Amino acid sequence: MAEAVSRMDAGSSVAAGLALEHAVPFAAGHELVRQGIDDLTLVGPISDVLFDQLVGAGLVSRIRAAWIGNVSAGSGYNFRRAVEGGALEVENHSNLSVSLALRAASMGVPYLPTRSLLGSDIAAEPQFEVAEDPFEGQRVVQVPAIAPDWAVVHVQRAAPTGDAHLWGNAGITYEAVRAADHVLVTAEEVVDESVIKSDPSRTRITREQVDAVVEVPFGAHPSPVAGHYDRDNEFFLEYAEATRDGFDEWADEWIHGVDGREEYRGLIDRDLSVTEPTVAAEVRYGQ
């Protein structure tokens, strides 16, 4: 993880938390904090408290997102303090406009149009342009492309080559992977390439897109990973209380005070295992 994250430069734009509340790459985010890679621009829809933690560590200068906070508790206090103190530039989006911005970049076009922002305050944000549709003459909002330097995604399994399987809610993960210049994949397990080849339809993150693969079990905690562990709701509530007036003490315990994810896992005394696993129907391939 340390080697992979060290490839990111200060001043990079990083897309993460792309599967909404699912599979948020917290382990990679914590390594960013340890290495102090700063002046970051963060891109995402709903990152839960990942972005709040990176802001609390003083690594972020700009955020381009739909929502920042703590889904379980409301405010992300580090983010709130930074905005109120004028220390953070925020570019407001809706979930759809972030998706369209990344999709535009993945398609190699300068923008994509939408009507969904019309009538909202977001349409007046300076990054958007309201224009007339040349075909129907109706007003549309032009959403400019966003091409991050890095997309960081967490998946259930990946091969060393970079081919990966993600199931459950993917949010806008695939849009970001295709839009980014570089991709870091963290995985619950690294598997033989034959496992990935056994289900080719699920391989929507592919080797030519990926710069690094890191095996990191429990790498998305406290967010859930479908089929592996549930959301740790109590952790989010405890985090909110612990960071209400500051961040350093929490970070010393949960980021700087642990030697890797295995030791981090040892601090969690709750059973988050999936109690009612659901298995998909068999898929048959043949020649």
Give dist(CA 211, CA 151) in Å, integer: 10
Instruction: For residue 276, tell me if it sits in a domain.
Output: no
User: Is there a single domain that holds both residue 152 and residue 139?
Assistant: no
DSSP state of 121: G
pLDDT band at 10 (very low <50, low <70, confident <90, very high): very high
Side chain identity, residue 80: R
User: Is there a single domain that holds both residue 131 and residue 156?
Assistant: no
Instruction: For residue 116, tell me if it sits in a domain.
Output: yes
User: Is there a single domain that holds both residue 74 and residue 169?
Assistant: yes
pLDDT band at 275 (very low <50, low <70, confident <90, very high): confident
User: Is there a single domain that holds both residue 125 and residue 91?
Assistant: no
Kind of pairing between the strands at 60-67 and 40-46: parallel
What is the Cα gyration radius of the chain? 19
The pLDDT value given to residue 208: 96
Residue 158 belongs to domain spanning: 2-96+147-266
- In Å, what is the CA distance from 147 to each residue of 3, 50, 68? 23, 20, 20
User: Is there a single domain that holds both residue 123 and residue 187?
Assistant: no
Please check the confidence at residue 287 and state whether its pLDDT lies above 80: no
User: Is there a single domain that holds both residue 127 and residue 241?
Assistant: no
User: Is there a single domain that holds both residue 24 and residue 123?
Assistant: no
User: Is there a single domain that holds both residue 226 and residue 137?
Assistant: no
Instruction: For residue 54, tell me if it sits in a domain.
Output: yes
User: Is there a single domain that holds both residue 127 and residue 243?
Assistant: no
Instruction: For residue 79, tell me if it sits in a domain.
Output: yes
pLDDT band at 45 (very low <50, low <70, confident <90, very high): very high
Q: Which of 31-40, 95-104, 143-152, 272-281 has the lowest mean pLDDT?
A: 272-281
Residues 6+ apart with CB under 8 A from 161: 193, 207, 213
**Please, what is the average pLDDT of the chain?**
96
User: Is there a single domain that holds both residue 17 and residue 126?
Assistant: no
User: Is there a single domain that holds both residue 124 and residue 260?
Assistant: no
pLDDT band at 32 (very low <50, low <70, confident <90, very high): very high
Helix (H, G, I), strand (E, B) or coil at 1: coil
User: Is there a single domain that holds both residue 137 and residue 175?
Assistant: no
Structural domain count of the chain = 2
